[in-house]
Amino acid sequence: MTDRDVSVRVRFAPSPTGYLHIGNARIALLNWLFARKAGGRFLLRLDDTDTGRSRAEYAAAIEEDLHWLGLDWDEGPIRQSDRLARYAEAIEALKAAGRLYPCWESEEELAAKRKQRVARGLSPVYDRAALALTEEQRARAFASGKPAHWRFRLSDSEIAWEDLVLGRRMVKLSSISDPILVRADGSPLYTFASAVDDLDFSVSHIIRGEDHITNTGVQLDILAALGADISAFRFAHLPLLVDASGGPLSKRLGSLSLRALRTDGMMPEAVAGYLARLGTPDEAIPGLPQDLVAGFDLGRFGHSPPRFDIGQLLALNRRVLQRTPFIAVCDRLPEGATEAFWLAVRGNLDLLSEARGWWEVVTGRVIPPLLVEETAFLRTALDTLPQEPWDETTAKIWAERLAAATGRRGRALWRPLRLALTGEEYGPDMTALLPLIGRDRVVSRLNCALGQTP
């Protein structure tokens, strides 16, 4: 592949059955970076043939979340639900070639067959009993009115390819059950529809999770049966993300959807920067996808499952927030929040949503802990509190007066004041925070910490 290979065409093909999980978002991002680095094209396809679970609202959410992450697409969204006529045409071609055959076994019958084969020490693959039916038996089965599902007769061969991430990979088709490609209701399954789409839209590189390795062998066999030149396809299978303990990163964890991370206040520069390097030996750097293209190299991804560490992502998000200007976040801050407030608190945020808590500290009611052991000090603090107007010099003037009166400095001076004024041990610099809180609230909170009713 040259540096600018316009023949490169990749696709991201989520199923709109839920919100976009962080693992799928990573696959989308890496496909986009690969295409943009090559000067190729990125296609968005919605694999929505599962009509029982696909939802229009999820499809819309996927598009919105991808845009939020900084991704765009050159074609799409292509909806499989709009291509049923094309799938029907391909289905008939495979039937005519003798590669699709009807089956009538129920799920219970298939489960019993698998159990029997295991008991005999055999692999629990489908026994191709339906393929052995005579024409007369098939005619009787069709006449019974029970709808058939259709299986693809796999080649008794091995399919191998040079994976762009994992190296040489091979699938032994004889060890796999002939897959069902058409449901009893006539609708195509993902394995089949995806292969037809990749052929029709001239997809050149298929970048996805390593859980699809067996699918790749099957789909290449389907593509060959449809007359495709399977040597034209390139594959990259990425090890799946795991959690901090090394276990599977469950897609059922709603907190790891892109939508939930957005809502919590994660910034797209942090998410994109983290996912673009996750699985490589390179340090993550924050940036929007367009900023990450030059440094992207699919060859840097390893063979081991990368650990998704929310702590590392939060640390990267903190770096992004620390340099984010007010204008970029003002519409997501609490109503009334000013630039002075944002500049005061942004260095203490892991998530943008945490700004709301500090807005409450600045403008709302804080009930500080009762600091009985600091009674004398807090009374002196009240006595030495400067009059308004307050500005960035107020904290220094107050600290100097308190130090002269009590001998305290540094943490010994500011810890009880911070607890009384914010209810927290740590937080933004009090130099910036004090003018935002204002003298009346400071007096009220000091009195509360002394046990006096405000």
**Torsion on CA atoms 306, 309, 315, 321, rounded to nearest 10:** 90
Q: What is the mean pLDDT of residues 99-112?
A: 92
Specify the pLDDT at position 176. 94
pLDDT for 245: 82
Residue span(s) of the chain under CATH 1.10.1160.10 come to 254-328
CATH of segment(s) 9-85+187-238? 3.40.50.620
* Under 8 Å between Cβ of 402 and 384: yes
Question: How many other CB atoms are found less than 10 A from the CB of residue 218?
Answer: 23
Q: Which residues make Cβ contacts (< 8 Å) with residue 240, sequence separation at least 6?
A: 23, 209, 210, 211, 248, 249, 305
User: Looking at domain 254-328, which of 3.40.630.30, 3.40.50.2000, 1.10.1160.10, 3.90.1150.10 is its CATH number?
Assistant: 1.10.1160.10
pLDDT of residue 3: 47
Fold type of domain 96-156+168-182: Glutamyl-tRNA Synthetase; domain 3 (3.90.800)
Cα 169 to chain centroid distance, Å, stands at 27
Of the candidates 284, 428, 424, 263, which has an alpha carbon nearest to the alpha carbon of residue 349?
A: 428
Answer yes or no: is pLDDT of 92 > 90.
yes
Closest CA to 402 of 426, 377, 376: 377
Confidence of residue 10 (pLDDT cuts 50, 70, 90): very high
Res 49: pLDDT? 87
Q: What are the φ/ψ torsions at residue 452 (nearest 5 degrees)?
A: -100, 140
- Residue of 252 and 172 predicted with greater confidence: 172
Q: What is the mean pLDDT of the chain?
A: 93
Query: Above 50 in pLDDT, residue 4?
Result: no
d(CA 81, CA 197): 12
Task: State how far the Cα of 49 lies from the Cα of 62, in Å rounded to an integer.
Answer: 16
- Please name which of 160, 178, 177 lies closest in space to residue 169, comparing C-alpha atoms: 160
Global confidence as pTM: 0.90
Q: Is the pLDDT of residue 392 over 60?
A: yes
Q: What is the CA radius of gyration of the chain?
A: 31
Backbone region of residue 341 per phi and psi (left: phi > 0; alpha: psi in -120 to 50; beta: other values): alpha
Q: How many residues does the chain have?
A: 454
End-to-end CA distance of the chain: 72
Share of the chain above pLDDT 90, in %: 87
Average pLDDT over residues 202-219: 97
Residues with Cβ < 8 Å from 414, sequence gap 6 or more?
A: 399, 430
| Residue range 277-317, pLDDT digits in tens | 999 999 999 999 999 999 999 999 999 999 999 999 999 99
Which residue intervals of the chain bear CATH 3.40.50.620? Answer: 9-85+187-238
pLDDT of residue 254: 56
User: In 10 A of CB 369, how many CB atoms?
Assistant: 12
What's the rounded Cα separation, in Å, for the pair 33 and 440?
A: 53
Predicted confidence at residue 253, as pLDDT, reads 54
User: Residue 70: its pLDDT value, please?
Assistant: 97
- Segment (H or E) for 329: helix 326-329
Give the pLDDT band of residue 209 (cuts 50, 70, 90). very high
When pLDDT is cut at 50, 70 and 90, the band that residue 251 belongs to is low
- Which top CATH class is 365-449? mainly alpha
Query: Does the pLDDT at position 323 exceed 90?
Result: yes
Rounded to whole angstroms, the Cα distance separating 316 from 144 reads: 63
Residue ranges, comma separated, of all CATH 3.90.800.10 domains in the chain are: 96-156+168-182
At 173-192, the pLDDT tens digits run 999 999 999 999 999 999 99
Which pLDDT band holds residue 256 (cuts at 50, 70, 90)? confident
Residue 252 is predicted with a pLDDT of: 53
Residues near 439 by Cβ (< 8 Å), separated by ≥ 6? 385, 386, 387, 388, 390
